[in-house]
Every structure is written in C-alpha cells, then in structure tokens.
Amino acid sequence: MGYNLLIVDDSATTRTIIKKILSLSKIEVGELFEAENGKVAIDLLYSKWIDLVFADINMPEMNGVEMINRMSDDGMLKTIPVVIVSSDGNEARIEELMSKGVKAYLRKPFTPEIIKEIAETILGGEKNEHKI
C-alpha cells in the first residue's frame, strides 16, 4: 500500500507540477489528493488518511498559516508532516511555521529534485528541517 499525499495550493498549475514530480519519485504513491485552499485541505484531512502534506501559504479562504494553526491545535492532525512550498520569503513567518512543526520550507520556484528528496526523506522516517 502506498503513501497518500495531499497537495494544497490555489494554483492548479503548481498542483499539477508537484503531482507529476511525486508520481515520478521513488515514493510508492497510494492516492494523491488536491485542495485549493486550507479549508478544503482540513476537510480532507478529517476524512482521508494522509501521510504527507505539501502546502502553499498565500491562498484564498484559508491560507497556509491558518491551516497549520488549525492542524497544530488538533491532536490527530498535528502528527501529519507538512512541507510548505511558497514564494513567501518572510523570515518571521517561516520561523513561526517551523516552530509549529512544519518539516520543511521550500521556496518557489522549486526544482523537481528537492521535492523528491524531501518527500523521500520524510516518508523514509528521517527528521528533516530544511529551509530552502
């Protein structure tokens, strides 16, 4: 059985790119779920088993910071690893997210290699606190 992954980004283009990268990685992918904002993602997290989340910050309705806050307040959701993938470079925001348990922070535009490397490392069980 493969890993279930969730990609949260308001850009369908970015979701497609990340999906393609993950499907070509060494990770055994079960189901790939998509959400266009944090609110849809939270609903999915309550209804599906998810092993890893890739999430943007700047999204309408519920942004990535609000989504992480909701997850960190929930005993079950806070155990799910999250990788932030954003063009936002604000140091305070990055520190805040890392302090809430975000596993890695990738700056857009990203390379396929770094997405694959981080997903493989996290799902391989290693602690990985990247800031790129």
Partner 1 sequence: MNTKSDDNTILAKVIEQTLAKFALMFGEPAGKEAIIGFQGDGLTAVIRFRNFASGAIYITIPADLCIVLAANAIGTETKNELAAANCHDALKEFTNVAAGHYVSEVFGKKENVEIMPPEIIRLDNNGLMNAVNDAQVLFLVDGNPIMARAVKG
Site residues (vs partner 1, CB under 8 A): 10-14, 16-17, 20, 58, 60, 86-93, 107-109, 111
What order do you get walking across the sheet with 29-35 strand by strand? 29-35, 3-8, 52-55, 82-86, 104-107, 130-131
Quick one: 37 or 102, whose CB is closer to partner 1? 37
Grouping H, G, I as helix, E, B as strand and the rest as coil, residue 95 is helix
Quick one: 73 or 87, whose CB is closer to partner 1? 87
Quick one: 71 or 85, whose CB is closer to partner 1? 85
Instruction: Provide, rounded to whole angstroms, the least separation between the CB of residue 107 and partner 1.
Output: 8
Whole-angstrom Cα distance, residue 22 to residue 68?
A: 22
